[in-house]
Amino acid sequence: MSNTTVRNAQISDAQAIQAIYAPMVERTAISFELEPPTVEEMAKRIGSTLPTYPYLVAERDGQIIGYAYASQHRAREAYRWSVDVTVYISPEAHRSGVGRALYDVLLPTLKRQGFHAAYAGIALPNDGSVGLHEALGFAHIGTYPEVGFKQGAWHDVGYWRIALDVSSPPKPTLPFMDISPQV
């Protein structure tokens, strides 16, 4: 197996990212979107995320095989030290360390930015994602039963949390564009 490298996403990665994500939208309940976003929409999402939050890709042999990013947890100001995290891995790269490699860069970056905790929502069942998050130290904090309806069925979403920066009171968070990520 070749080495996996992790780097900051670029707008030009939108096509590869969309190719990983679209089948998840079309064929699974992992994503609650009903229609896959276009390449142009993915480019907009990357561009709007990067100034504030990390958006990373994993490459192996010159191919993007996974991506991860952070996003706002909630809109109210007191939530500003909390962040949501998302990871998607190409099916042929499942269980090969790609998710861990992405999180090994994403989580320390979020900590350097001053975020207090990261939250992951996982549509259930999804043993692979649950296993990855728990192996990294995320703790299950609850489940919303039957919160989404897709593919003719109701689906639960479980939530997992990991502490990042336990300073109290917290320092202001830093925008991603203002730090020098070691990617």
Q: What is the pLDDT of residue 108?
A: 96
CA distance 41 to 77: 27
Residue 154: inside a domain: yes
| Site of tokens 């593919």 | 151
Residue 183: inside a domain: no
Give the residue-averaged pLDDT of 141-165: 97
Model pTM score:
0.94
Residue 65 has pLDDT above 90, yes or no: yes
Question: According to DSSP H, which parts of the chain are helical?
Answer: 14-27, 39-49, 98-113, 127-135
64, two tokens: 């993007």
CA distance 39 to 147: 28
Residue 119 has pLDDT above 80, yes or no: yes
Q: What is the pLDDT of residue 167?
A: 84
Name the domain count of the chain: 1
CA distance 129 to 163: 18
Per the structure, the complete domain to which residue 132 belongs is given by: 5-178
Instruction: Dump pLDDT digits (tens) for 11-53.
Output: 999 999 999 999 999 999 999 999 999 999 999 999 999 999 9
Residue 58: inside a domain: yes
Give the residue-averaged pLDDT of 98-113: 96
Residue 166 has pLDDT above 90, yes or no: no
Residue 168 has pLDDT above 80, yes or no: yes
Residue 77: inside a domain: yes
Residue 181 has pLDDT above 80, yes or no: no
Q: Count of CB atoms within 10 A of residue 172's CB?
A: 8
Indicate which CATH number applies to the domain containing 75. 3.40.630.30
Taking alpha carbons only, the member of 74, 66, 139, 75 closest to residue 106 is 66
Partner residues linked to 143 by β-bridges:
158
